[in-house]
Amino acid sequence: MGIAYIKRSKTGRINIKIGNKVDYTLKAVLWSLGIVTVVAFLFFDYTGFQLTSALKETMTNLQTMFLTPALTHFSWGEAFYQVGVTLALAVLSTVIGAVIAFFLALLSAENLSNQGVAKVIKTYVAFIRAVPTVLWVLIFAIAAGLGSTAAVLGMLFHSVAYLVKAFSESFEEVDKGVLEALRSTGAGWWQTVVHAVLPSTMTYLLSWTFLRFEINFSVAVAMGAAAGAGGIGFELFMASGFYFDLREVGFITYCILLVAILLELASTQLKKRYFPSQH
């Protein structure tokens, strides 16, 4: 059931409609995407394609990849080192990005900053977020060259834009009464931030930062190959695109999955320990 909207015409007659323009637009977009998808499948070139053979080969490859993982072209020690490199890229871009984003978010929060300044910052970070991280990495690669520097700068740029939006929205949700009470006692801008904004939003700031760290780890894996930043992502690229070693691809995939699970567990434990009221 849609939501009923009541509208009075110029003649005084009341019209009741189900749904609104947003609902109709969303449905139209979904139907259009569905039709385009079906048409695209109809125009594929299926010459020489055999479904049974393709499924059999796919299952064989998956079995080789995930049931018999093994290291072939590098050692266990190097595997741990490459995972550490990827984590280091993610940590560096996240920590620096969070610090920069914190101060920019204070300036872009409408309840803490000038309205004009807030709108300008939000417009710029919205543009930065609209561009995928990999494109920022490639842009910086033109100036800094392929490598870890370009990868960190690209991830840092997008991380700042992402966290500015998250942090500023958290700041704007602070109780206005608390802010007004502090200001009425003569507290300055920075004192208001320290004594009212930070205590109220620290949980959210840490949660958003850790979430961005998990995202940056995934991005760092991809940038290891795309930007030549090294790490486990580069080894995955070499195993799949250069050596064609499915067993090594499976091993690296398990390594990445293990790290992702450990990060999630660490995040959960930190929240339970330092913010038990949130659970």
Q: Percentage of the chain with pLDDT > 90?
A: 26
Read off the pLDDT band of 12 (50, 70, 90). Answer: low
Residue range 215-226: mean pLDDT, rounded: 84
Residues contacting 225, CB < 8 A, separation 6+: 233, 234, 236, 237
Q: Say what the pLDDT of residue 1 is.
A: 45
Distance separating alpha carbons of residues 148 and 85, to the nearest angstrom: 10
Tell me the percentage of the chain whose pLDDT exceeds 70.
90
The two tokens of residue 95 are 């920590």
Cβ-proximal residues to 133 (8 Å cutoff; 6+ apart), any chain:
154, 155, 158, 219, 223
- What is the pLDDT, as a whole number, of residue 18? 55
- How high is the pLDDT of residue 200? 85
Q: What is the mean pLDDT of the chain?
A: 84
- Tell whether the model's pLDDT for residue 5 goes beyond 70: no
The per-residue pLDDT for 6 is 52
On whether the CB atoms of residues 249 and 236 are closer than 8 A, the answer is yes
User: For the domain 72-278, what is the CATH code?
Assistant: 1.10.3720.10
What's the pLDDT tens digit per position in 137-188? 888 888 777 778 888 888 998 999 999 999 999 998 888 888 888 888 887 8
pLDDT of res. 132: 86
pLDDT digits (tens, 9 = 90+) for 99-145: 999 999 999 988 888 888 899 999 999 999 988 888 888 888 887 77
pLDDT of residue 275: 62
The Cα–Cα gap between 172 and 154 comes to: 28
Write out pLDDT tens, residues 46-91.
Answer: 777 788 888 899 999 889 988 988 888 888 888 889 899 999 999 9
Query: Band of the pLDDT at 279, cuts 50, 70, 90?
Result: very low
Tokens 């450990």 correspond to what residue? 262
Domains in the chain: boundaries: 4-64, 72-278
